[in-house]
Chains A and B, each alone.
Chain A
Amino acid sequence: MTDRYVDLVNTPLAARLAKALGLPRPSVLRRYTPGEALATKPVLVAGSGAGADALAEVILGWDVEVRRHVLPGEKLSAAVVVLDAADSPADLSAPLLELGQAVKLLVPGGRVVGISRAAEDTSDPARAAARQGIDGALRSVAHELRGGATANGIVLRGQTTTTDPSTIGALRFFLSGKSAYVDGQLIEVQAVPEDSVSDVAAATAAEGEGVPDRPLDGRTAVVTGAARGIGAKIAEILARDGAHVIAVDVPAAGEQLAQVANRVGGTALQLDITAPDAGTRILEHVGQRHGTLDIVVHNAGITRDKLLANMDAARWDSVIAVNISSQLVMNEQLLASPVFSPTGRIISLASTSGIAGNRGQSNYAASKAGVMGMVRAQAAAFHGGARTINAVAPGFIETDMTAKIPPLTRQVARRLSSLQQGGLPVDVAETIAFLASDAAAGVNGQVVRVCGQNLVGA
Chain B
Amino acid sequence: MADQAHAQTTARSPRTAVVIGGNRIPFARSGGAYAYSSNQDMLIAALDGLVARFGLQGERIGEVAAGAVLKHSRDFNLTREAVLGSALSPETPAYDLQQACATGLETVVGLSNKIKLGQIDSGIAGGVDSASDAPIAVSEGLRRVLLDLSRAKTTQQKIRILGTLRPKDLSPNAPGTGEPRTGLSMGEHQAITTAAWQITREAQDELAYRSHHNLAAAYERGFFTDLMTPYRGLVKDANLRPDTSVEKLATLKPVFGKELETPATMTAGNSTPLTDGAAVVLLGSEEYATAHNLPMLANIVDAEAAAVDFVNGEEGLLMAPVHAMPRLLARNGLTFDDFDFFEIHEAFAGTVLGSLAAWEDEDYCKRVLGLDGALGSIDRSKLNVNGSSLAVGHPFAATGGRIVASLAKTLSEQGGRGLISVCAAGGQGVVAILEARN
Contact = CB atoms under 8 A, between A and B. Distances in A.
A270 B225 contact: yes
B52 A257 contact: yes
Contact of B54 (A247, A265, A267, A270): A267
A288 B225 CA distance: 18
Given A265-B58, A288-B293, A289-B294, A252 B52 contact: no
Contacts of A288: 293-295
A258 B52 contact: yes
Given A252-B230, A254-B229, A254-B235, A267 B52 contact: yes
Contacts of A253: 230
A271 interface: yes
Nearest to A277: B222
Nearest to A265: B57
Contacts of A270: 225-226, 229
A384 interface: no
Interface in B47-84: 48-49, 51-55, 57-58
Given A262-B87, A271-B225, A289-B294, A254 B230 contact: yes
A258 B229 contact: yes
Interface string B216-231: 0000001011101111
A290 interface: yes
B49 A254 contact: yes
Contacts of A251: 222, 224-225, 228, 230, 235
B57 A255 contact: no
Nearest to A266: B55
Contact of B51 (A262, A269, A290, A291): A262
Contacts of B54: 267
Contacts of B51: 258, 262
Contacts of A271: 225
Nearest to B233: A255
Nearest to A261: B52
A45 interface: no
Nearest to A268: B52
A125 to B, nearest CB: 57
Given A251-B230, A288-B293, 16 more contacts: A244-B55, A252-B235, A254-B228, A255-B49, A255-B231, A257-B229, A261-B55, A262-B48, A262-B87, A265-B57, A266-B55, A268-B49, A268-B53, A268-B229, A270-B226, A288-B295
Question: 10 nearest interchain CB pairs?
Answer: A258-B52, A268-B52, A261-B52, A267-B55, A262-B87, A254-B229, A254-B230, A255-B230, A270-B225, A265-B57
21 contacts: A247-B52, A251-B230, A251-B235, A254-B49, A254-B228, A254-B230, A255-B49, A257-B52, A259-B48, A262-B48, A262-B51, A262-B57, A265-B57, A265-B58, A267-B55, A268-B49, A268-B52, A269-B226, A270-B225, A275-B222, A290-B293
